[in-house]
Amino acid sequence: MSTLQKRPLGITVLGVLSQVVGVIFAFSGVSIILLGMAAPFLLSDEMIMQNELLMAMPIGMTTMLFSLAGIIIFGIGIFSIIVGIGLMKAKKWAWTLEVISTFISLGIGVFYLIDDIVSGILTLILSALILYYLYRPNVKAYFGKTVLNQQLDN
């Protein structure tokens, strides 16, 4: 990043939101892992007998699935925190990872359309707006992805 280049407001917003969401995901992932480990102690025999899914699956398998889900969610949270910090510090790799993850969000938005059209449309619109913003000349210049015309004139 050029020392003359000021961080765009939208990047500050994206960076902070990415970090906040990352912290929420990381804590959620740890909570899910702990819940999975506690499941054998929390579930009574009566609760297991009333739930067909729990009856069909050994409790160890339930614990393992909770742990796996928790680890994945925790990893997404850490990824989001790192990308958020990178965005705030104008790291080229953070811009690239944000673009990739936003394209993934576009794909997820298409799948949301199958189940919940409102969530799908909102996800698609938000992802498209983020991509549009990330490809703005001043934003790309902030990350050193392109040079603004004004800088060429100097």
What confidence tens digit (pLDDT) does each residue in 13-51 have? 999 999 999 999 999 999 999 988 887 776 656 555 566
Q: What is the reported pLDDT for 61?
A: 77
Taking alpha carbons only, the member of 153, 139, 135, 144 closest to residue 2 is 144
Q: Which pLDDT score, from 0 to 100, does residue 41 have?
A: 72
Residue 22's pLDDT is 97
Quote the pLDDT of residue 153. 46
Same-domain pairing of 25 and 78 = yes
pLDDT of the residue at 2:
46
E strand or H helix at 45: helix 45-50
Q: Which residues of the chain have pLDDT under 50?
A: 1-3, 152-154
Burial letters 131-147, b for 16+ CB under 10 A, else e: eebbeeeebebbbeeee
Q: Decide if 83 is inside a domain.
A: yes
Q: For residue 103, tell me if it sits in a domain.
A: yes
Dihedral sign, CA of 136, 137, 138, 139? positive
In the listed set 89, 111, 139, which residue is the last one of a domain according to the structure? 89
Distances in Å between the alpha carbon of 28 and those of 23, 34, 78, 115? 8, 10, 11, 24
